[in-house]
Amino acid sequence: MKELRIVGQRELRTDALAKATGRARYTADMKQPGMLIGKALFAAYPHALIKKIDVSEALLLPGVATVMTARDLPGRNGYGVMIQDKPVIVEDKTHYSGDAVALVAAVSEEIAREALKRVKVDYDPLPAYDDPREAMKEGAIPIHANHPVAENGNILVTLNLDRGDVDKAFAEADIIIENDYETPMVEHCYLEPDACIAEPDPLTGGLTIISPAQAIYANRRSLAGVFGIPQNRLRVVSPLVGGGFGGKEDSCLDVSAMAGVLALRCDRPVYLELTREEVFRVTGKRHATYIKHRMAATKEGKILAVDVRTILNKGAYVSMGGMKEPLHAVTMRTLVYAAGTYHVPHARARSYSVFTNTPYSCAFRGFGVPQATFAVECQIEELARRVGADSLSIRRLNMLRHNDLTITGQVMLESRGLGLGQCIDKVAERFDWDRPLPQPPGPIKKGRGFAVYMYGSGIPLLFEGANCFAHLQLDGTLSLGVSTTEMGQGFLTVAAQVAAETLGIRVADVLVEFSDTAKTPDSGPTVGSRSAVMVGNAIFDACSKLRERMLTVASRYLFSKTDPRDLAIQDGVVSVIGKPEVTQPLAVVAARAYAAQVSLAVVGSWYPPQASFSALDGQGNPCHAYAFGAQAVEVDVDTETGVITVNRSVHACDVGKALNPLNVEGQMEGGAAQGLGWAVMEENIMEGGILRNAAFHNYMIPTIRDVPDLESIIVECPNELGPYGAKGVGEPALIGMAPAIRNALYDALGFAINTIPLTARQVLQSIREHEQRR
């Protein structure tokens, strides 16, 4: 490969100045005077029959344009990412407190709120389930009477993985470790609340939706039927997004469906924005999980088998919970990663996704892998103690290597990047892992913890892939079109770097148009750490085609039929290799191509090797390549208060190739900080289907005072199928922090706590219970 001049450089963010100065425009900044204001009346009970709705008083209020109930909808009363099971407006039964029972459009927010107060709803409450373990019991009241894809009662789906002879391996094992683990439902906590502008289009008879979204084409497919219009007449636009973390795959559908039906009903633009409390109560959450993990090993610490049972709280609707077909979903990933980063010859896993009356559980950074990894990395810590070995040696002994099989039967290949060993070594060296950790006198106890992880780039769907538009202008600049969302991860900059490197122009000469179904092709959703790889490859394909096309034109018309292979493009100048004095600006070549009727526009595409995964036994190749990482932390725990302080964090991640190291480090630091919150403080507290902490004054997230200096180490083991060797980093960056902190607490206290978040209250209670047992 030729020496890279742009890819791999710490290019400053192309959108940084606009964001830093407050001039960047988000959805709320596009609100115009004269737009109607939309609001929703959400369910008073999380599980109830609706006996009667009376909107007559609300309709009489001056300034009210319309009040809608389910019977007023223009199309299908259902939407969703995977299946259309979430109603726009519930008709006869509520399933969680975020269900809309009526919608209002008025000339002001004050009038809309008053109108909501005048809507009268007569409910017949039903028992509400917060815990999937209760909801899946025989005799539990069905949350959905006739759900289109539910497997059995409140069980949405059961997925199985079977490999080898698990029972025989456990029977022959020297060591068996069995523990139960719990992880909480948590909020995405993105800064930008969910909002939508819906505007009817009189020219096409369609509708334009502007909303912060992570998957504009999926939104179009999901919502066109709701509005009763063809997909080609629904334009979906996502401006800059103020954070998503997976949540805005779904929440944008919530606000867009409501705003869209109001706009069509009134034939006027409608603006609808959720309050922060409504964001908490209505939108999706990370799946809470209950995991029973059994591990069999030899006395030397070699893992023989795992037997894992995972129950996921699905909440009220499918969202990204998973079904038999398509399999891509959080439930599936808890199977795929049930053995973590380890070569385990025998494996059995069962994952159950169960409906409850809580907010629907959806995609959240890591997509089920953090939950599965938390359990297995805690098990490794226990195994090391039973063997009497350092946990790093147990991880090295069992880690996946070239030609090893995962528990899904996928062959690990060095050519796809297997940097786990390097990650472990580099973290251990930077952390000075072998150094004894002195314990100070008094109530403060110190501990160190380690964890490793893996995460597949992309989403394991049979139709995974990406497209882009590339159009070379006559002045030698490039217009690039992708439907990828820019939500703070810096993709616009990376896209420009890949394009500039491949075509041979400057980053400043690339303009990336993004996230508009009227301007950009389907590049797939901005999820699953897929954009840099999938869309990056599509950009590479498009710019390679343009480059070869321009070199052919230059050879034919401007360089006396010099072989195109002897020409190069650099900084927007075409030259003869070895003769830097013989040049032509790329703009001149573009103009000559235009005159010769050679197209300056191309479509770039890339599709990875076809994914596979069996619903019968969990065998297959879910992802083409995997990122690997290692995380070490040092903590203090105050045994008198239970407060945990993370003093140090060192994190290494094998990203294949860091297309922009500045962005990669930002993702690693942001993921570590978010993982810290999941580990020690964040939790949605449900009581009878009601969220009890629906604001930032009682839902705790990390501040700068809680986050230590985050040391990041980039490891580059190239992926032969990635653009310039890249793999994804956004999702995996979060995964290692929670198990590392839990293992550090174990080290400090001498006993394990297997439920997160490790709040001061829980830690102190566990300390007291441990003392009583002693």
DSSP string, 171-231: HH-SEEEEEEEEE-------SSPPEEEEEEETTTTEEEEE---S-HHHHHHHHHHHHTS-G
φ and ψ at residue 350, rounded to 5 degrees? -130, 130
- Residues 374/752, Cβ–Cβ less than 8 Å: no
How far is the C-alpha of 694 from the C-alpha of 186, rounded, in Å? 11
Q: Is residue 195 part of a domain?
A: no
pLDDT band at 338 (very low <50, low <70, confident <90, very high): very high
Q: Is residue 326 part of a domain?
A: yes
Model pLDDT for residues 462-499, shown as the tens digit of each residue: 678 999 999 999 999 999 999 999 999 999 999 999 99
For residue 123, the cross-strand partners are: 50
For residue 69, which amino acid is it? T
Domain shared by 475 and 558, yes or no: yes
What is the structure's pLDDT at 2?
A: 74
How far is the C-alpha of 420 from the C-alpha of 367, rounded, in Å? 20
Model pLDDT for residues 165-211, shown as the tens digit of each residue: 999 999 999 999 999 999 999 999 999 999 999 999 999 999 999 99
Task: Cite the beta strand spans of 95-154 per DSSP E.
Answer: 100-106, 120-125
Q: Is residue 418 part of a domain?
A: yes
CA distances from 131 to 313, 363, 700 (A): 7, 19, 22
- Residues 551/567, Cβ–Cβ less than 8 Å: yes
Q: Is residue 177 part of a domain?
A: no
Q: Is residue 161 part of a domain?
A: no
* Domain around 579: 16-23+465-606
Domain shared by 408 and 440, yes or no: yes
Whether the bond between 202 and the residue before it is cis, its omega within 30 degrees of 0, is no
Domain shared by 122 and 244, yes or no: yes
How far is the C-alpha of 446 from the C-alpha of 439, rounded, in Å? 6
Domain ends where: 606, 633, 658? 606
Model pLDDT for residues 146-170, shown as the tens digit of each residue: 999 999 999 999 999 999 999 999 9
Percentage of residues in the chain having pLDDT higher than 90: 95
Mean pLDDT of 683-704: 97
Which candidate, 475, 319, 340, 360, places its Cα nearest to that of 96?
360
For residue 167, the cross-strand partners are: none
Domain shared by 254 and 303, yes or no: no
Domain shared by 102 and 236, yes or no: yes
Which candidate, 659, 318, 374, places its Cα nearest to that of 489?
659
Tokens coding 644: 């945990």
Long-range contact set of residues 435-438: C-beta below 8 Å, sequence gap at least 24 = 437/634, 437/747
Which candidate, 525, 569, 522, 534, places its Cα nearest to that of 548?
569
How far is the C-alpha of 365 from the C-alpha of 673, rounded, in Å? 12
Sign of torsion over alpha carbons 210, 211, 212, 215: negative
Domain ends where: 247, 273, 299? 273
How far is the C-alpha of 755 from the C-alpha of 749, rounded, in Å? 15
What is the structure's pLDDT at 339?
A: 98
How far is the C-alpha of 538 from the C-alpha of 550, rounded, in Å? 18
746, pLDDT greater than 70: yes
What is the structure's pLDDT at 462?
A: 65
The CATH number of whichever domain residue 600 belongs to comes to: 3.30.365.10
| Residue-averaged pLDDT of the chain | 96
Model pLDDT for residues 567-589, shown as the tens digit of each residue: 999 999 999 999 888 899 999 99
What's the angle, vertex CA 514, arms to CA 513 and CA 516, rounded to 5? 110
Tokens coding 648: 């140090």
Domain shared by 334 and 479, yes or no: no
Q: Is residue 355 part of a domain?
A: yes
Model pLDDT for residues 271-288, shown as the tens digit of each residue: 999 999 999 999 999 999
DSSP H or E run through 487: none
- Residues 668/627, Cβ–Cβ less than 8 Å: no
What is the structure's pLDDT at 463?
A: 74
Model pLDDT for residues 587-622, shown as the tens digit of each residue: 999 999 999 999 999 999 999 998 888 888 999 999
pLDDT band at 28 (very low <50, low <70, confident <90, very high): very high
How far is the C-alpha of 349 from the C-alpha of 660, rounded, in Å? 38
For the chain, how far is it from start to end, CA to CA, in angstroms? 63
For residue 543, which amino acid is it? C
For residue 651, the cross-strand partners are: 631, 712
Rg (the chain; Cα; Å)? 27
For residue 67, the cross-strand partners are: 104
Domain shared by 600 and 748, yes or no: no
For residue 304, which amino acid is it? L
What is the structure's pLDDT at 458?
A: 87
What is the structure's pLDDT at 582?
A: 87
Model pLDDT for residues 629-639, shown as the tens digit of each residue: 999 999 999 99
Model pLDDT for residues 371-395, shown as the tens digit of each residue: 999 999 999 999 999 999 999 999 9
pLDDT band at 745 (very low <50, low <70, confident <90, very high): very high
Domain shared by 592 and 675, yes or no: no
Residue in the structure block whose two tokens are 């919970």? 321
Q: Is residue 703 part of a domain?
A: yes
What is the structure's pLDDT at 1?
A: 59
Q: Is residue 380 part of a domain?
A: yes
Report how many domains make up the chain. 3
The CATH number of whichever domain residue 238 belongs to comes to: 3.90.1170.50
Whether the model clears a pTM of 0.95, i.e. scores above it, the answer is yes
Percentage of residues in the chain having pLDDT higher than 70: 99
- Residues 558/584, Cβ–Cβ less than 8 Å: yes
Domain shared by 480 and 569, yes or no: yes
- Residues 364/188, Cβ–Cβ less than 8 Å: yes
Domain shared by 224 and 297, yes or no: no
pLDDT band at 329 (very low <50, low <70, confident <90, very high): confident
327, pLDDT greater than 80: no
For residue 474, which amino acid is it? L
Domain shared by 428 and 513, yes or no: no
Domain shared by 602 and 623, yes or no: no
